[in-house]
Structure formats: C-alpha cells, structure tokens
Structure 1
Amino acid sequence: MGSLQLKSIRKAFGPHEVLKGIDLEVQDGEFVIFVGPSGCGKSTLLRVIAGLEDATSGSVRIDGAEVINTPPAKRGIAMVFQSYALYPHLTVKDNMGLGLKQAGTEKAEIDTRVAKASGMLSLDPYLARRPAELSGGQRQRVAIGRAIVREPKLFLFDEPLSNLDAALRVQTRLEIAGLHRRLKATMIYVTHDQVEAMTLADKIVVLNAGAIEQVGSPMELYNKPANVFVAGFIGSPQMNFIPAEKLGQTGAKTIGVRPEHIALSRESGDWKGKVIHVEHLGADTIVYLETEATGLLTVRLFGEHAYAPDDVVFATPDRASLHRFDANDRAIV
C-alpha cells in the first residue's frame, strides 16, 4: 500500500513562501508527476514528502498515518535523485544492498531482494562491477535498484533522467514505465520535461509559484487546460495565444489554438501571413509566420512540407479546437 494525502502544506524560507498551501491526494499504485517551471516548488514539495525538508505547516499522511514528524528513514519511502549517489568503492551488488545491510537485514534476504531487482533492471552482468565501470544509464539503473530492494510504500524520483543523453533518457523512461507496471507501486516523480510527464504519468500535477494550477491525466491537461498557464506549459510547441479582440471574439480575453490545430495553404484561408522561419524535423515541419490578424503564429504540420522564409501563406484554425480564456486567464467552458 502507498497512498499519500497532503493537506495545506506550506513551506517558507524566511520571508519567502515556496509552497502556499498544497492539497493533494495520491491513490495507491498511481504514477504521479510534478511539473512546472524552475523555482515553482516541485522539488521542495517532494523533499517535504520525503522528510528531507520540514514543512512550515500542514499534514503529510502515508497510508493514512501522519508522518509530518517522522524521520525520513521511517516513512517507508525510497528516493532516486538526479545524481546517482553511488559509493565508488562498492560493487553494484553491494551498492544495491547497502541500505538493507545497514538496517540489519539478514544476508540471505538481501541477496534475494538484490537478485530480484537486478533481474528487473537487466543488471545481472554488472553486479561485480564498480560504478566507474558503468555508463550513466547503468548507474541510474543501479540507483533505481537500490530503491526497489527497500520495498517502499512510495518511490520518489527527483529529475532522475536529467544527467542522461537523449537516447538514454528514452530508454530509461521506458524502463521506469515498465517497472511501474510490474511493481504496481506508487511513484511520485519530479521533472521539468513535459514529454516525460505526458508519457509516464497517470496523473500530472502542474505547479506554479508554489501553488497547484491543475491536476489531471495527461490528455485532460492537454485537451482541457484550466487556465492560460497550463495551456501554455503543456504541449510542444507551445499553444498560440491571440487577443480575442483581434479576432472579433466576444466574451473572452484570449483565444488559444495549438500549433497542430492550424492548417496552412498557399491559396486561401482565414489569416494571411508571411513565413519567417521553418524547422524541418522529418516527422514534423514547424512553421513560424507573422499575420496581421494574430501576430506571430506557430504551426505544426505532420510530415515534410516545402515552406520557406518569405512565402506568403494562409492559416486556418480548427474552430472546434479553439480554447477561450476570460479576463482572469481562466478557461471558459
């Protein structure tokens, strides 16, 4: 079991309030990801859950038990950091089992748990090696294995893929997703990378300036953002925002349209403009254009398209996919 309830969590460093009353419920077995810009409080919130930071006020319950005054080692959590934090003089096997050894677990039980975790993470060939003999991806798998052997109630991940190159990030992301399915464990994961969030999470928590902007599944946040902040943060390239008055729209302050929900034509369309830059990505073509009606507009086209700077084009949005926001930047349903 690994449910989590946060109630009115506040954290201040002197006069600076980093967390401003966080309320959140995580169900047993959920994969929940905290996202948000740098400085929004996501890592601080994870550290409060772990007990590595003391909350200024509020309640943290794990499986219904209040742990706000419980030391980290007794909370039933295991944490994987951005840095691997492996002991260089110990083998992979000893690194993975060290926490259990320090807790007084019998050697036979340590060997059993290490073997099980090693099998899950394909680390069997490396058990006798030391960290210096491993790649970055292998070291991160050892750090994850060290967490698995503890059989915690909660797995906490703090930007675990940040030190890996692009290919290893994808590979390790797949391994973490598979691990979650096999373990059926509760995982809370912090990242600034929305691709990680969209591809891994059951539930995403979008944080901004110490407060929760929205909680929902990846597609809920993509299709029904609660406000301009969430709409602009989720999705790549970012949603286009156009003052409603420029489009003659009433009852709204801002109109949002995602780049993939705009069609381009050389012959006709709603908004006439000039191409200012094109990114040819193979699978996609990203076209940036300037139109009198909208200003700068980003358009995402699937596949390869032969647009070039200074081309005159016409853009037409999918009317059914427009997002409308009020004067307070809240979505209008």
Structure 2
Amino acid sequence: MGSLKLENIRKSFGQVEVLKGIDLEVEDGEFVIFVGPSGCGKSTLLRVIAGLEDASAGSVSIDGDEVDTVPPAKRGIAMVFQSYALYPHLTVRDNMGLGLKQAGRPKDAIAERIATASRMLGLDDYLDRRPAELSGGQRQRVAIGRAVVRNPRLFLFDEPLSNLDAALRVNTRIEIAKLHRKLNATMIYVTHDQVEAMTLGDRIVILNEGRVEQIGSPMELYNNPQNMFVAGFIGSPRMNFIEAALLGQTGARTVGVRPEHITVDRSRGDLKGTVLHVEHLGADTIVYMDCEKAGFLTVRLFGEHKFVPDETLFASPDSARLYRFDDTGAAITPPAG
C-alpha cells in the first residue's frame, strides 16, 4: 500500500510563503509527477512529504495515517536524489544494502533483496564495483536500487536525471517506467522537464508560485489546459499566444495555438511574418517567425522544409485547434477539434 493525501499544505520560510495550500490525493500504485518552473515549490513539497521539512500548516497522510509528527525514517518512504549520494568506499552491493544493515535486517534477507533489485535494474555485473568505477547512469541505477531494496510504501524522486546527459536521461527514464510497472509501486517524481512529466506520469501536478494550477493525465493537460500558464508549460515547443482580434476571434482576449497546428505558405495566409531562424531536425522543421503585431511565432512542420532566415512567409493557424482565453488568462472553451 502507498496512498498519499495532502490537505492544505502550507510552508513558509520566514516571511516568504513557498507552499500556499496544496491539496492532493494519490492512489496506491500511481505515478504522479510534480512539475513547474524553478522556484515553484515542487521540491519543497516533496521534502514535506518525506518529513525532511515540517509543514507550516496542513497534514500529510500515508495509507490513511497522519505522519506529520513521524520522523522520515519511520514513514515507509525511500528517496532518490539528483545527486547519487553513494558512499565512495563501499561496493555497489554494500551501498544498496546499507540501509537494511543499519536497520538490523538478517543477512540472508538483505542478500535476497539486493539480488532482486539488481536483476530488475541490470546491476548484476557491477555489484562488486565501487561508485568511481561506474558511469553516471549506472550510479543513478544504484541509487534507485538502494531505494528498491527497502520495499517502501512511497518512492520519492527529486529530479533524479538532471545530472545525466541526454541519451542517459532517455535510457534511465525508460528504466524508471519499467520499474514502476514491475513493482506497481506508488511514485512521486519531481522534475522541471515537461517532457519527462509527459512521458512518465499517470497524472501530472502543475505547480506555479506555490499553488496547484492543474492536475490531470498528460493528454488531459495537453488537450484541455485550464489557463494560459498550463497551456504554455505543457507542449514542446511551447504554445503560441496571439491577440484574439488579429484572428477575428470574438469573446476572447487571447487565443493559443500549438506550433504543430500552424501551416505556412509563401504567398498567402492569416499572418504575414519574417523568418528569424530555422531548425532542421530531420523528422521536423521548426520555424521561428516575427509576425509583427502577432509577435513571435513558432511553427513546427513535419519533415524537411527549405525555408531560410529573412524569408517572408504567411502563417495560418488551424481554426479548429485554437484555444481561447479571457482577460484573466483562464480558458473559455476547449478547441473545436
């Protein structure tokens, strides 16, 4: 079991309120992502769940039990940090089993749990090595393995892939997803990377300035953002925002359109612009345009397109894929498509 309930969690450091009333329920076995810009409070919230920070107000419950006064070691959680936090003088085997050894578990039980976690994470060939003999990705797998052997009620990940290069981030992301399916464990994962959030989470909690902006599945957030912040945060490249009147939209202040929902033409279209830069990515071409009153526009086209800087193009948003927002930035209606 590993359900989690947060009720009106608030956290202040002196006069600065970092968390401003967070409510959340996580079901047993869910993979939930906390995502948001730097300083939004996501890591602080994770530390409150872990017991590494005391909430200024509110309560944390795990499996129905309030744990606000329970020390971290007694909450049944395991954390994986951005820094691997491995002991350099210990082997992989000893790093993974140290927590169980300190807890006084029998040697045979420790060996069995290490063997199980090692098989899951592909660490069998590295058990007798020390951290200095491992790559960054291997070290992070050891850190994850150290969490797995504890058989916790909750796994907490605090930006675990930030120190890895792009290829290793993808590989380790896959390993974490596979691990979640094998263990059917409850996992809370903090990241600033919305691609990680979209590809890993059952649900995503989008935080901004200490508040929850929206909670939902990746595609719920992508297709039906509740406001401009969520619309601009989810999706890569980010959504374009255009003054509604420029596209003949009434009853809205701003319209949003994703880069992949815009077509371009050299002779006609809704918005005239000048090409600022072109990114040739092979499968896609990203075109950045200055569309005068409409402002900076990003267009994502499938395949290779031979546009060049300073070229004049006309951009046409798909009218069925427009998002409409009011004066406060709140969504008015979902797109018609």
TM range, smaller chain: over 0.9
Q: Distance in 2 between matches of 1:120 and 1:82?
A: 21
Q: How is 1:290-329 mapped onto 2 (pairs within 5 angstroms)?
A: 290-329=290-329
Work out whether residues 222 and 234 of structure 2, in 8 Å CA contact, stay in contact via their aligned partners in 1.
yes
TM-superposition CA deviations, 1:231-262 (whole Å, max 9, x none) = 11111111111111333322111110000000
TM-superposition CA deviations, 1:56-91 (whole Å, max 9, x none) = 010100000000110000001000000000011111
Q: Distance in 2 between matches of 1:56 and 1:108?
A: 42
TM-superposition CA deviations, 1:257-309 (whole Å, max 9, x none) = 00000011123222222212111111211111122452221101111100001
Q: How is 1:191-206 mapped onto 2 (pairs within 5 angstroms)?
A: 191-206=191-206
Q: Which residue of structure 2 lines up, in the alignment, with residue 207 of structure 1? A: 207
Q: How is 1:151-190 mapped onto 2 (pairs within 5 angstroms)?
A: 151-190=151-190
Mark the runs of 5 or more structure 2 residues left unpaired by the alignment: none
| Residue type at the aligned position of 2:233 | F
Work out whether residues 271 and 293 of structure 1, in 8 Å CA contact, stay in contact via their aligned partners in 2.
no
| Residue type at the aligned position of 2:66 | E
Question: Residue 177 of structure 1 aligns to a residue in which SS?
Answer: helix
| Residue type at the aligned position of 1:60 | V
Question: Residue 140 of structure 2 aligns to a residue in which SS?
Answer: helix
Q: Distance in 1 between matches of 2:94 and 2:290?
A: 59
Q: How is 1:1-333 mapped onto 2 (pairs within 5 angstroms)?
A: 1-333=1-333
Question: Residue 83 of structure 2 aligns to a residue in which SS?
Answer: coil
Q: TM-score, normalised by structure 2?
A: 0.97
Q: Distance in 1 between matches of 2:129 and 2:175?
A: 21
Q: Distance in 2 between matches of 1:130 and 1:245?
A: 63
Query: After alignment, is 266-275 or 32-41 more displaced?
Result: 266-275
Matched residues, number: 333
Return the offset for 1:314.
1.6
Query: After alignment, is 140-149 or 260-269 more displaced?
Result: 260-269
Query: After alignment, is 292-301 or 123-132 more displaced?
Result: 292-301
Work out whether residues 6 and 23 of structure 2, in 8 Å CA contact, stay in contact via their aligned partners in 1.
yes
Return the offset for 1:203.
0.3
Q: Distance in 1 between matches of 2:275 and 2:162?
A: 34
Q: TM-score, normalised by structure 1?
A: 0.99
Query: What is the alpha-carbon root mean square deviation over aligned residues?
Result: 0.9
Question: Residue 157 of structure 2 aligns to a residue in which SS?
Answer: strand
Question: Residue 304 of structure 1 aligns to a residue in which SS?
Answer: coil
| Residue type at the aligned position of 1:63 | D
Identity score, percent = 76
Work out whether residues 247 and 293 of structure 1, in 8 Å CA contact, stay in contact via their aligned partners in 2.
no
Work out whether residues 239 and 256 of structure 1, in 8 Å CA contact, stay in contact via their aligned partners in 2.
yes
Question: Residue 215 of structure 2 aligns to a residue in which SS?
Answer: strand
Return the offset for 1:114.
0.2
TM-superposition CA deviations, 1:192-217 (whole Å, max 9, x none) = 01111000000000000000000000
| Residue type at the aligned position of 1:265 | D
Mark the runs of 5 or more structure 1 residues left unpaired by the alignment: none
Question: Residue 179 of structure 2 aligns to a residue in which SS?
Answer: helix
| Residue type at the aligned position of 1:122 | G
Q: Distance in 2 between matches of 1:249 and 1:121?
A: 53
Q: Distance in 2 between matches of 1:148 and 1:292?
A: 54
Question: Residue 44 of structure 2 aligns to a residue in which SS?
Answer: helix
Query: Displaced runs of 4+ in structure 1, greater than 6 A?
Result: none
Question: Residue 47 of structure 2 aligns to a residue in which SS?
Answer: helix
